[in-house]
Chains A and B, each alone.
Chain A
Amino acid sequence: MCDQTFVAATFGPCESCGNASPLMNIYIKTDPINYCSFCVEMMACEGLQRGETLATLKTESQSLKKRLDEERNKLNDVELHQVAEKVEVLGALSIKTKRVLKGHGNKVLCMDWCKDKRRLVSSSQDGKVIVWDAFTLNKEHGVTLPCTWVMACAYAPSGCAVACGGLDNKCSVFPLSLDKNENLSAKKKSVAMHTNYLSGCTFTNSDMQILTSSGDGTCALWDVESGQLLQSFHGHTADVLSLDLAPSETGNTFVSGGCDKKANVWDMRSGQNIQSFENHESDINCVKYYPSGDAFASASDDATCRFYDLRADREVAVYQKDSVIFGASSVDFSMSGRLLFAGYNDYTINVWDVLKGSRVSILYGHENRISRVRVSPDGTALCSASWDNTLRIWA
């Protein structure tokens, strides 16, 4: 059989079994492979049986991708905006700033509405998390986290707690006390632990589970009470920057977007990646479901926002303009899904007609990048968070 003596040029972890040992540096077609001698034997035997090597697998994968594209293109019989020509044109929108929330001492990075339609939580670069009654401009709670860049915050469905995290790689839950004098930090509960920054977090339909996304390339579902990891989601090949839960009552899916330019749809029960979309030319900063749950939108550093339908399994619209050259950081739909609000790094919010693909309005007012836009739960207002240290409510 095979002689075990050979000249080893390198020593290190075998690319097949992972064990540290003398490695044989060989080439399959043009692919360099560094396996230990045992794995080389195994591969040779397996190769003889199935003819599979990394190279042949890659070829198979490429041809499958090509076939998939062809199949999907057969269904692309018309463009969304063409079908939407018969929809009535929207009347002129008159959206103005109705509130300016001042109080953060540094860039506001994230915000989330409370289900009561008037309260919201916001977090900023200086570690502060504030709960506001946006209607009265009253600051109701404030917490200071020991880390800076609190990039994610979320309001619990019950309205009794908030979750937040960022450069500390964690997601912590703070129950909101009615006693103003009580120090919220004391009751803090660490729920999620990632190996890199926390980019997004959201409660599922109850206070008891949190879904998180992280710079470590994964998403995860956590049980709040025990802090236990219930499910993790692997598949992104770079930082995950955003996630959104499907709006259905019975739904068990969510979508995530990241620096690998991919938007992935996941099954929360199994951890499987169900669908994947790679159309953007740069990082996807935000993903958000269309209200029916059959479609979603994404915002990217390539200065476009895109709209994907899950049933057709493809991108069905691109929202872009020659004059829009700065990255889009955040998107959200109005209640009917007719309007798409997108916040950009050029300090503006563009309002797009989702069906027709045209821009219907530009909202000026912020003096630095928009980090997040969110429509209120009853659709009566839009909140925008910005690097100019303020939040604005638009209606």
Chain B
Amino acid sequence: MAEGSRDQGGVVGTTDPEEDSPNMIVYRKIEDIVTRIQDEKAGGVAIRTVKSFLSKIPSVVSGADIVQWLMKNLSIEDPAEAIHLGSLVAAHGYIFPISDHVLTLKDDGTLYRFQSPYFWPSNCWEPENTDYAIYLCKRTMQNKARLELADYEAENLARLQRAFARKWEFIFMQAEAQVKIDRKKDKAERKILDSQERAFWDVHRPVPGCVNTTEMDIRKCRRERNPHRVKKSVYGVPDDGQSQPSPIHISSQPTRKPTKEDVQKEITFLNIQLDRHCMKVSKVADSLMTYTEQFMEYDPFVSATEPSNPWISDDSTFWDLEASREPSQQRVKKWGFSLEEALKDPAGRDQFLKFLESEFSSENLRFWLAVQDLKRRPLQEVASRAQEIWQEFLAEGAPSSINLDSHSYERTSQNLKDPGRYSYEDAQEHIFKLMKSDSYARFLRSNIYQDLLLARKKQPADTEQGRRTSLEKFTRSVGKSLTGKRLTGLMQSS
């Protein structure tokens, strides 16, 4: 847990119910890390005083040491990863370079110091501009080279002087008071505190161009410990009432205790879950592995794409081929994995339809497609479309009569009394199973499919298929015009 003084400004203790807010979770993890790094007895880094020219630099550690520690204690193999993590720890204000405003970690002799727990982000600081003005003002009062303002700080100070013109006297007084207090402190202690204070402001008023790590995801704001970010001053300056709370998102649903109904619903749900038949992990694991292995050759991140990945080669041939009328063998092979895969691909759908038409048994697929289309219609059109489907496929003497078992037929005609998007769910499922077990298997054995799969050229003079050929030509031309229409629908011309 966090150690160190936390008494200034009235910080709440550690048994806080808001501990699980997302930012807090990260802060606690980082705090655990920096606490461990500083614990020399438990394998931490050596924090030393370094001699430099005429002075001593107290309480520092080298960047390289921090990187080494991170790699060893967090099982990191690549130093780049340790540097990246260390830089984030710095960016959030937990460690800082003693001679730079930019908070990153370097894997070399650059010297770093640890931030005082008083200034830790987990205290939910949102310091006001008055505090910042006091700070910058204070810096100008002290004649130390190391406290000279950087360019962006000088600009900020000028802007604040204009904004706070009327209360500048007050700010000046506060700055003077701070300087007086600081002078009483021990020299080494002052060096450390000054640097920590500067690092604090580097987090809350970052160098232009640097990430402001105090920015929040607005969706998570309202659960922060201090949602209205009541402005407690870093320097103990009383709030003059002019500050505005930061914008947060108020919950519209007050949390309520679970009622009897809620628990009853839960019980019903749990009973349903208990009745559910589930599979063993070994079985599902095999199924997941089989699926993944089957599709790995189609996964551009894992297998090379033919001809080439357009994003890598800047050549869009791959996409042009996909859109063309001649599906590749690899693509055709996918249709053989399952009926689902075949229907997912518009070209697969067309070929399957073509095959069924050649057998004069296309009504099942056309019914399935019509029900899919029904589900995609705007609400207004659903009822009439549902009726049309009934007339076409299921009514007495329907032109494309499909074969439904009596149970599904009854259910469906009941549903049609109040026609909706899901009126044909039962029937569609039944027909799908029928196609899967019957015509799909025949499709995969058919010449239409095999020709594409093996990239065979058609033999129109083949007498064995004489009669089928002219019908094939007819259905092919119908198929082509359908395919053409569907493809242009998909492609957005730019």
A residues lining the B interface (CB < 8 Å): 15-16, 52-54, 57-58, 60-61, 64-65, 67-68, 71-72, 75-80, 83-84, 87, 90, 93, 95, 98-99, 114-119, 133, 135, 138, 140, 149, 151, 158-160, 167, 178, 195-197, 199, 204-209, 215-217, 223-226, 228, 230, 239, 241, 248-250, 252, 259, 269, 273, 275-276, 281-283, 290-292, 294-295, 301-303, 309, 311-314, 316, 321-323, 325-327, 334-339, 345-348, 354-355, 362, 364, 367-368, 378-382, 387-388, 393, 395
Contacts and interface: CB of A to CB of B under 8 A. Distances in A.
Contact of A380 (B260, B300, B375): B300
B154 to A, nearest CB: 26
Interface of B: 20, 22, 25-26, 29-30, 33, 70, 74-76, 78, 80-82, 84-85, 88, 211, 215, 218-220, 223, 249, 251-253, 257, 259-260, 263-264, 266-267, 269-271, 273-274, 276, 278-289, 291-296, 298-302, 305, 309-312, 316, 318-319, 322, 340, 343-344, 372, 375-380, 421-422, 425, 428-429, 432, 489-494
Contacts of B271: 64
Contact of B429 (A159, A250, A314): A250
Given A323-B81, A346-B84, A354-B292, A312 B279 contact: yes
Contact of A116 (B84, B249, B490): B490
A393 B309 CA distance: 13
A113 to B, nearest CB: 12
A337 B291 CA distance: 8
B281 A80 contact: yes
Contact of A160 (B211, B219, B292, B492): B492
B293 to A, nearest CB: 7
Contact of B291 (A209, A252, A292): A292
List of 10 A-B pairs having minimum Cβ-Cβ separation, nearest first: A206-B376, A336-B299, A225-B378, A336-B295, A395-B311, A83-B285, A223-B379, A301-B22, A64-B270, A159-B492
A78 B378 contact: no
Contact of A312 (B270, B280, B316, B432): B280
Nearest to B77: A323
Classify the interface of chain B: helix, strand, loop or mixed. Answer: helix
A196 B263 contact: no
B319 to A, nearest CB: 6
Contacts of A380: 300, 305, 309-311, 318
Contacts of B428: 250
A291 B301 CA distance: 15
Given A322-B74, A336-B296, A393 B285 contact: no
Contacts of B299: 334-336, 338-339, 379
A140 B302 CA distance: 31
Given A54-B260, A115-B490, A215-B249, A336 B26 contact: no
